[in-house]
Amino acid sequence: MTHLSVNINKIATLRNARGGNVPDLVQFTKDIESFGAEGITVHPRPDERHIRYQDVFDLKPVVKTEFNIEGNPIPKFIDLVLKAKPTQVTLVPDAVDAITSNAGWDTIQHKNFLKEVISEFKRNNIRTSIFVDPNVKMVEHAAKTGTDRIELYTEGYAEEFGKGNKDAVKIYTDCAKMAIEMDLGLNAGHDLSLQNIQYFKQEVPGLLEVSIGHALITESLYFGLETTIKRYLKLLKG
């Protein structure tokens, strides 16, 4: 079964655009879970331009499914995660000024750093995942960091699928097989949508979780939040 984790960064972006508390991030989170989502993802960045660090603590007692915090493991982020103790932490090597995540870890070059950070989270009973490009070698070496899971960066697949190139999924299939061989759990995310999620799910074995935010919130403008979430769940379970 592939679980749907909804990234709520865009809800926070909308709130922050006007100040105040509209839309109410906590209420949206409750509603998203009530509509069937199996997880909530947040990605706080140092400038707090969408998810604020305080949001993490406000959401922690509210989330009843799986709480996933993504981010670059700078000291401030590590401290946040250790205090909040989410279900899962996903480590992403994004620059401070990055608009969005745009690359995975070089698990060879950064192996020792990742091992140190991951071991600290695991000592605190927090499941770890690391963001990686669709590169079999990077997946193989990810296993040497001690991580529980990897999250495949799917922008390349989404872009090519939109052009009609379904063969773009093949490298993800190969990475998934390597993850299974290395006993790594497999997540995926970035630009997955109602248009491309079903084929990805069909072709990528062992997919445990997808994290979807930008596309899902955009699609909700057309279909409504509850309908959109239920459409994703139908495609993922079918």
Chain segment 34-85, per-residue pLDDT in tens: 999 999 999 999 999 999 999 999 999 999 999 999 999 999 999 999 999 9
Number of domains in the chain: 1
Regarding beta strands 39-42 and 3-7, do their DSSP bridges make them parallel or antiparallel, or are they unpaired?
parallel
Annotated active-site residue 141? The verdict is no
Annotated active-site residue 43? The verdict is yes
Catalytic residue among 66, 70, 151, 219: 70
Q: Which residue has the tokens 């879970």?
A: 33
Catalytic residue among 66, 190, 209, 219: 190
Residue 112 backbone phi and psi in degrees, to 5: -65, -40
Residue span of the structural domain in which 149 resides: 3-237
CA dist 147 and 230 (Å) reads 31
Residue 220 is predicted with a pLDDT of: 98
Annotated active-site residue 190? The verdict is yes
Q: How far is CA 178 from the centre of its chain?
A: 20
Taking 70 as the threshold, does the pLDDT of residue 97 lie above it? no
CA dist 102 and 133 (Å) reads 9
Catalytic residue among 3, 33, 43, 50: 43
pLDDT digits (tens, 9 = 90+) for 62-74: 999 999 999 999 9
CATH number at residue 26: 3.20.20.70
Residue 96 is predicted with a pLDDT of: 56
pTM: 0.95
